[in-house]
Amino acid sequence: MRKMLLLTVAIPSLLLANAEQGDDILAPLKPLVGTWKGTGGRGSITSQVEAEYQFVLNNTYLEVKHRAVFPPQKDKPEGEIHKDFGIISFDRSREKFVFRQFHIEGFVIQYTLDSLSTDGKVFVFNSEQIENAPPGTRAELIVVIADENELQTTFNVAFPGKDFQCYSSNKLKRRK
C-alpha cells in the first residue's frame, strides 16, 4: 500500500516534468489502446462487451468507448444496450488524469486517476462529480491490465450513505 501511495503522489510530478521536456505525458495509458471484446456481467446477467481506446486530437487525449449488449430479461423483454464514451486528459494545474465519461442513461461521471500501481497495470479512477445521480452518489472504476492482451474492468457504485458495491465487471481480450 505504501508503494502505491508513494507512486500516487510521485507519478503526476514525474509526468508533468517529462511533458515539459517533450516526453509523452499519456504514456501510462498506452497499454489500454486497442479494440477489445469479451463478456461482462451485472449481477447474474451476462453481457457481450466491446471497448475501444484510442488517442485522438494529435494524441492529446485518450478516447474511450464501451458497448454492452444484455439479453432479454423479465423487466426488459427487448434486452438492453448500454453505451458510454469518454475522454481522458491530463490536467496540468492539478497534475492529475481526469476522465469524463458520458452514459447513454444520462449520467456524466468525472473521475480522477487516484492511484496507479507501480507496475502500471492497475488504474483506480474515483468520481469527483456525477451528474444526474442522487446527491452523494460515488463511483469507482478499476481497470486492470491482466496481460498485454487481457483487460479487466470493475465499476463500483456507492449510493448516498452506502459503501461501494460492484455494479458491473468485464473481462476483455484484445482484438487489435
49 close to 141: Cβ distance less than 8 angstroms: no
Q: Cα separation of 143 and 88, whole Å?
A: 13
Per-residue pLDDT tens over the stretch 34-88: 999 999 998 889 999 999 999 999 999 999 999 999 999 888 899 999 999 999 9
Mean pLDDT across 158-176: 95
Q: Quote the mean pLDDT of the chain.
A: 89
Confidence of residue 22 (pLDDT cuts 50, 70, 90): very low
Which residues, other chains included, contact 26 with Cβ-Cβ below 8 Å and sequence gap of 6+?
A: 55, 59, 60, 61, 62, 88, 90
E strands within 9-149? 34-42, 45-56, 61-70, 80-91, 96-103, 108-116, 122-131, 138-147
Which residues, other chains included, contact 19 with Cβ-Cβ below 8 Å and sequence gap of 6+?
A: 25, 90, 92
Which residues, other chains included, contact 97 with Cβ-Cβ below 8 Å and sequence gap of 6+?
A: 29, 88, 89, 90, 91, 112, 113, 125
pLDDT of 44: 86
List the domains of the chain with CATH numbers: 2-174 (2.40.128.20)
pLDDT of 39: 97
pLDDT of 31: 95
* Cα angle, residue 100 at apex, residues 95 and 106 outer, rounded to 5°: 160
Evaluate if residue 174 carries a pLDDT over 90: yes
Q: Cα separation of 89 and 128, whole Å?
A: 15
Q: Cα separation of 119 and 138, whole Å?
A: 27
Confidence of residue 176 (pLDDT cuts 50, 70, 90): confident
pLDDT of 6: 42
Evaluate if residue 1 carries a pLDDT over 80: no
pLDDT of 24: 87
Phi, psi of 175 (to 5 degrees): -100, -35
Residue given cell 465487471 in the structure block: 169
144 close to 151: Cβ distance less than 8 angstroms: yes
Confidence of residue 23 (pLDDT cuts 50, 70, 90): low
**What pTM does this model have?**
0.85
